Amino acid sequence: MASHCPHCKDRNLHPSRIEADLPALSCDGCGGSLLSLVAYRHWRENQPELAQSDGDGDGGKLDEVQDTSVALCCPKCRHFMTKFRLSADARNQIDLCVHCDEAWLDRGEWQLLDRLALAGRLTQVFTQPWQNRVRSTEAERRAEQLWSERLGTDYLRAQELREWLRGNAQARDILAYVNQVRDEIPR
């Protein structure tokens, strides 16, 4: 029985290769690929030279790669696939069927994984610690953005003060002193 594309729904998936030794099932319509994580793990064992990243990126903007925003059903078992974020820098999500151990890669997502140096760590993206780190990085960046907006031109100076306090053995005493005069500061 032919598997239908989870994105296009009316097109059959056909055998293809994401990399020379990495088989997949692909759709001619949307360009997506269904990747067996069993095949991926076998491929990965034979690719020791792959660059690896921690997934946090460098905070820079990445070229946008088309991403399926709707819930997809696994073409093999018809269960809903779960979406996993790649990094705090990339908005893309990889869809995974936890029942079949199959991942759906939208057109260009394998290349995005490669640019993020995550092609060798794809299975780690599906772990709770990885997803927690992505959310934590995003939360830290949002908080810094809010402080930047709130403090305006004083933001850089406040950052310098924070870094100075982090390296200071008397940081708690200094903060207690500053806090003591807080009520004297006009609002």
Q: Is the pLDDT of residue 58 over 70?
A: no
Residue 125 has pLDDT above 60, yes or no: yes
pLDDT confidence bin for 136, thresholds 50/70/90: very high
pTM, to two decimals: 0.77
**In degrees to the nearest 10, what's the CA dihedral of 35, 40, 42, 45?**
170
Token output for 92: 């893309």
Any idea which of 39-53, 101-115, 151-165 has the lowest mean pLDDT? 39-53
Residue among 62, 52, 132 nearest 91 (CA): 62
- The answer to whether the CB of 151 falls within 8 A of the CB of 158 is yes
Taking alpha carbons only, the member of 28, 106, 29 closest to residue 68 is: 106
Q: Where are the domains of the chain?
A: 14-126, 133-184
pLDDT score at 59: 45
